[in-house]
Amino acid sequence: MVEGPIGVGKTTLARRLAESFGSELLLEGAEDNPFLERFYRDPRSAALQTQLFFLFQRARQLKELRQGDMFQPVRVADFIMEKDRLFARLTLDEEEYKLYEQVYAHLAVDVPQPDLVIYLQAPVDVLLRRIARRGRDYERHMDRRYLERLAESYMRFFHDYTASPLLIVNAAEIDFAGNDDDYRLLLERIRRVRSGRHYFNPAPLNL
C-alpha cells in the first residue's frame, strides 16, 4: 500500500506498481467526494461531511475486497485505512471527532494487514507545485497551512508505525511517473523489503 500527503504521488506510483505486478488496483477516489471542494474553500463548514464520506467509501472498498478473490496474490492500494483517523483528528473538532469515532466503531471495518506500506515524503513546496501542475478543480483552494499540518501528521504517524514492513521514500527528487530509470530503481528497492523499516533516499543526478 502506498501512502503520503496530498500531491506526493501516491496514485501514480500505485498505478505503476499494479501494472508491474499484474495486480488488482484499489484507489481512494477522492474525486468522488462531493464535499471535498467545499471543504477546501471552508474547512469548518464541511469537515465532518467530507470525513464521513471518505470513511463510508473506504469501508465499502475494504468490504468488497474481502468478498473478492482471496487468492489474488498481490493487491496495490493508494491508501491505508488508518489514514482516515489521521485526517479526522486533523480536521474535526472534539465533538465531531467523538461522533466520527462512534460511526467508525459501528462499521466494524475488517482491515487486512498490508504486506508492505510505502510512505512517500516530499517538502510542502514540492507538494504545492505538484498539486498546481495536476490542476484539479477541487484542490484550487487548498490552504498551505493545512498541507503543512497534514505532512506533519503523516510524519508523526509513521514515526511510530510498526504494523507492517515500511519503506520510507524521499519522493522530492525522483520522478517515478515520467522517468523509467527512477521507477525501476524504486521498484528494485520495493522488491527487496521483507520486514522492518527501510529508507530510500536517492540522490539527484548532477548533469
Quote the mean pLDDT of the chain.
89
What is the pLDDT confidence band of residue 193, given thresholds at 50, 70 and 90? very high
> How is residue 137 written as a grid cell?
478543480
Give residue 66's pLDDT. 67
Supply the residues annotated as catalytic.
78
Is 169 part of any domain?
Answer: yes
Provide the b/e sequence for 132-152 (b: ≥16 CB within 10 Å). eeeeeebbeebeeeebeebbe
* Terminal CA-CA length for the chain: 33
pLDDT in tens, 98-129: 999 999 988 867 777 889 999 999 999 999 99
Q: Indicate the number of domains in the chain.
A: 1
Residue 136 in this model has a pLDDT that exceeds 90: no
Is 129 part of any domain?
Answer: yes
Listed residue (206, 202, 167) closest to 185, CA to CA: 202
Query: In this structure, what CATH number is given to the domain that contains residue 14?
Result: 3.40.50.300
Q: Is 45 helix (H, G, I), strand (E, B) or coil?
A: helix
Is 19 part of any domain?
Answer: yes
What is the pLDDT confidence band of residue 137, given thresholds at 50, 70 and 90? confident
What average pLDDT does range 173-186 have in this prediction?
Answer: 89
Is 206 part of any domain?
Answer: no
Quote the pTM value: 0.89
Is 207 part of any domain?
Answer: no
Residue 56 in this model has a pLDDT that exceeds 80: yes
Find the domain containing 125 and state its range.
Answer: 2-200
Residue 178 in this model has a pLDDT that exceeds 90: no
State the Cα–Cα distance between residues 14 and 35, nearest whole angstrom: 25
> How is residue 200 written as a grid cell?
530510500
Residue 180 in this model has a pLDDT that exceeds 60: yes
Give residue 73's pLDDT. 60
Residue 70 in this model has a pLDDT that exceeds 70: no
